[in-house]
Chain A
Amino acid sequence: MMKPNKIKIWHFVLSIWTVIVIVRFTLLVKTAELMWYVFLLLFDDYDFLLSHLNFQMFDAGLSLLIMLMIPLLLSFSKIRNKYFNSGINFSKCFIVLLMYSFLLPSLITRVHPDLQKNISEIKLLHPFSIIYEIRLKSDGDSELKPIKEKFLTLKDEVILKEFIEGKIFVKNYTLEEHEYKINHNNKIILIPSDSIELIKSDIILFGTDEFGRDIFSRLIFGARISVFIGFMAVTISLILGLTLGYFASTGNPFISMTLNRLNDLFLSFPAIFLVILVLALFGNNLVSVIIVLGFSGWMSLYKIVSSEVAAIKQKDFFIASEKLGLNNYELLLKEILPVIMVPLTVNLVFQFSNVILVESALSFLGLGSGSQYPSWGAMIEKGQEYIYEAWWLIFIPGAVLVLTLLSFHNIAKEVNKFFNPKIT
């Protein structure tokens, strides 16, 4: 007999939340302040605000909101007991961490994924290497109104930047008679010590890549892209599979036969070939990758839905509710969906991990969502070039990818077991 697990999943969620709050407390306060200034500027100078609003601002506000919502949601015992009350294990913990990095990447890492820190010095550093950040003094004399000035400084502090002007990152430096000697872009330059605000050391957790970008930060932001693509593609295949399967089981024999033939056609052909064909011919970007992956995954869902619906139609409860006079819409929503939800959920989780796998393969082949987003597959592909110098370029994204797929696989198995206890 297994001992029931005392630690529940919501304990883990809450503890991660606490850690984030402790580590990023000042940042959260600043974000709240920034949001207050946005609110003030809304009435004060609308055009100025509009020129500064972007996705990252929205993201910062949203992450603050999510941070406030998490304990609030967990305090409702109904939600807590329904979704977060199962015992903890490794896969679930990993999924929770993945969801955190999907929702709040800018709170977990404070380095922009595309920030190139002084390429000549900081490229291909191994994990746990130490660098120094030299912050130069800036002469900030602006003639804006105080409220706008405050807004801009807060925005600078809250939002991650691709390029930082007043900071120089170096591996080491020497001090010679009030002048710091550093290597910047392959040139030795001297900086007088009175123009430096502070020097602090920094640890690079997972090393840097060939452009001096932080791998940890790219992994966290890459998780966001992977999970986003997974969710969207699975939603598209779910909608497609549901509607087509429903049509095949209700409509006339001609439609169902055509759909079955189409299903056979797609199954007797490697889906990745079609995906690559479409992406190469029509161009690859985030939207097209999502749509193509969504369309390439409807077959198994269609099979499940059409066979299950056909079976349900023979059942007494369905015939009874049909005779009671429910219309088609109500029949689908109230009688069919709850029954087919079980096999669908299991399939969807498998589908989700499959989409992440195919997406990484696509990025590996250079047909992913494009170079403007960090992606795990693309990181592994880059690592192939530097396999002799930098093992961490392959192993770290590879390990994260394998752990993600493993966790989803285990979760799907668990869901299956939960719904069909007879299966061992």
Chain B
Amino acid sequence: MTIEKLYLVLKRFLASLFILFLIVTLVFVLIRISPGEPTQKYLSPKLSPELAKEVQKSYNLDEPIIVQYFGFIRNMFTGNFGISYEYRMPVLKVISQHLPVTLTLAFFSIIIQLLLGYFFALFSVKRKNTLTDKFLRRASVVMYVTPGSVLGLILIFIFSVHFDLFPSGGFHSYFYDELSFPGQIKDIAAHLILPLLTLSLPGAALFFNYFRDGIEEVLQKDFVLYLKANGFSNKVIFRKHVLPNVLKPVLSVAGIELGFLLSGTLVTEVIFSLPGMGRLMISSILSRDFPLVIACAFVSAMFIILANFIFDIIKVKIDRRIWREILR
């Protein structure tokens, strides 16, 4: 069984590699067939054509596309994505500067989403069909459909413009370096609260619905009644028998959600001017910084695949019977 599991994991790994390769190829082709020349920006029309050729050569853009493509793939396998046109340093270094923000945001956001969804669902199920329950369900639908741009701006308006509680943008204050360590943590936390809320509330509403419907449905099943008749306490029934059943669909959604969070949450990062992957992606696309664009695409696709894989492993841990279907 272990060998079969390993085989399936390996197969999935290879399939993921193939998909990553396809994505990089797709982005490469899209970039190269698009009109416009990235070196144009750095060239004055007064320069001689020979010099312009030289600049192109320094960017490796003078060769035919096929040669460029194979050179690029060869470099990629050695972990070299090239040098960013804009930042003038290795692409992976640029990405590693922007990654911490996105990783923090995604990590805390998925935890907040799951916890908020779970506890509100418990709260709501206990008061089934009361006014609170109905209100929570209505509010969760409204929350779920609210776009990030609207939600973020409303939060900024309430908490930073009106009450002046939290800063409206940036990752840390300009006097960050002078603060002591706890002060630094506090500073970053104050900056991250509003973006985290913006990212988490719609997802929390989604998880609330999944948890609530799931718990309600499973509690009506016959096996719960049987366990109750056999004298198991409600706590044990809920923890050992109800929750694993509810978690299955939640975890598949959580995998997708985490993937999207890790690949950079464009609108939120733009609103709160956070230096994360999403803003890096947009700015690199708009400034035609092609090595950076490809690397960003690669990294975000990798994260999506990875996030799905992590949550699949958790699912296997919870329900051991169905690992064949999940890992396939």
A270 near B304 with CB under 8 A, answer yes
> Whole-angstrom distance from the CB of A126 to the nearest CB of chain B?
15
Give every chain B residue within 8 A of A329 (Cβ-Cβ). none
In the complex, what distance in Å separates the CA atom of A401 from the CA atom of B282? Answer: 24
Q: Which of B22, B146, B156 contacts A265 (CB 8 A)?
A: B22
Q: Is A394 an interface residue (CB 8 A)?
A: yes
In the complex, what distance in Å separates the CA atom of A281 from the CA atom of B33? Answer: 9
In chain A, what residue has the closest Cβ to B301? A269
A264 near B19 with CB under 8 A, answer yes
> Whole-angstrom distance from the CB of A345 to the nearest CB of chain B?
19
Q: Is B218 an interface residue (CB 8 A)?
A: no
> Whole-angstrom distance from the CB of B259 to the nearest CB of chain A?
8
> Whole-angstrom distance from the CB of B313 to the nearest CB of chain A?
17
Question: How many interface residues does B have (CB within 8 Å)?
Answer: 44
Given contacts A265-B19, A361-B147, A405-B147, 8 further A-B contacts (CB under 8 A): A265-B23, A270-B300, A360-B149, A365-B282, A377-B149, A384-B271, A398-B150, A405-B146
Question: How many interface residues does A have (CB within 8 Å)?
Answer: 37
Give every chain B residue within 8 A of A361 (Cβ-Cβ). 147-149, 266-267
> Whole-angstrom distance from the CB of A264 to the nearest CB of chain B?
6
Q: Is A50 an interface residue (CB 8 A)?
A: no
For A246-289 the 0/1 string (1 means CB < 8 A from B) is: 00000000000000010011001110110011101110000000
Q: Is B8 an interface residue (CB 8 A)?
A: no
In the complex, what distance in Å separates the CA atom of A333 from the CA atom of B91? Answer: 52
B270 near A365 with CB under 8 A, answer yes
> Whole-angstrom distance from the CB of B159 to the nearest CB of chain A?
12
Give every chain B residue within 8 A of A293 (Cβ-Cβ). none
Q: Is B26 an interface residue (CB 8 A)?
A: yes
Q: Is A406 an interface residue (CB 8 A)?
A: yes
Decide yes or no: A277 and B23 within 8 Å by CB, A387-B157, A394-B150, A394-B157 being known contacts.
no
Q: Chain B: residues with CB nearer than 8 A to chain A?
A: 16, 19, 22-23, 26-27, 30-31, 34-36, 141-142, 144-150, 153-154, 156-157, 161, 260, 263-264, 266-267, 270-271, 281-282, 285-286, 288, 293, 297, 300-301, 304-305, 308
Q: Is A391 an interface residue (CB 8 A)?
A: yes
Q: Which of A268, A278, A395, A406 contacts B301 (CB 8 A)?
A: A268
Q: Which of B36, B147, B297, B308 contacts A402 (CB 8 A)?
A: B147
Decide yes or no: A280 and B147 within 8 Å by CB, A270-B260, A273-B300, A409-B141 being known contacts.
no
Q: Is A388 an interface residue (CB 8 A)?
A: yes
> Whole-angstrom distance from the CB of B310 to the nearest CB of chain A?
14
In the complex, what distance in Å separates the CA atom of A380 from the CA atom of B152? Answer: 11
A277 near B153 with CB under 8 A, answer no
Give every chain A residue within 8 A of B308 (Cβ-Cβ). 268
A281 near B19 with CB under 8 A, answer no
B304 near A406 with CB under 8 A, answer no
Decide yes or no: A360 and B301 within 8 Å by CB, A365-B270, A387-B153 being known contacts.
no
Decide yes or no: A353 and B35 within 8 Å by CB, A268-B301, A391-B157, A394-B150 being known contacts.
no
